[in-house]
Amino acid sequence: MVVALAAVLAFAVSVLAAADPSGAKNVGNGVGQQFITGGCVSNADCASVCCAQQNGAGGVCSGKGAQFQAGKTGCGFVDPNKEQTISAAQKQSQARAFRA
């Protein structure tokens, strides 16, 4: 019974994740639900409380121990183009939800 319940729960979680695998819905919402490697416009978006600019582009949620790895500039990035970034993420999230 426990194994069957765990399997059903794992399937439900995977279906939910498939609807928005990039986490686009979490970009710019400021509620700290974005996963590490997901897009962000500030620390408030990230569960790790660390939004780092990567390679001169937009923000990416990072673990504090990895905030300077792979071209990242460290926690505390605030996207100067956040309105455009949020708009693009919302469009991506809506498009993925429509296909799911």
Q: State pTM to two decimals.
A: 0.74
- Residue 95's pLDDT is what? 78
| Interatomic CA distance for residues 25 and 90, integer angstroms | 6
| Tokens of residue 46, six digits | 């990230």
For residue 91, pLDDT over 50 is answered with yes
For residue 98, pLDDT over 60 is answered with no
- Residue 93's pLDDT is what? 82
Contacts of 47 (CB under 8 A, 6+ apart): 32, 33, 34, 35, 36, 61
- Tens digit of pLDDT for each residue in 28-76? 999 999 999 999 999 999 999 999 999 999 999 999 999 999 999 999 9
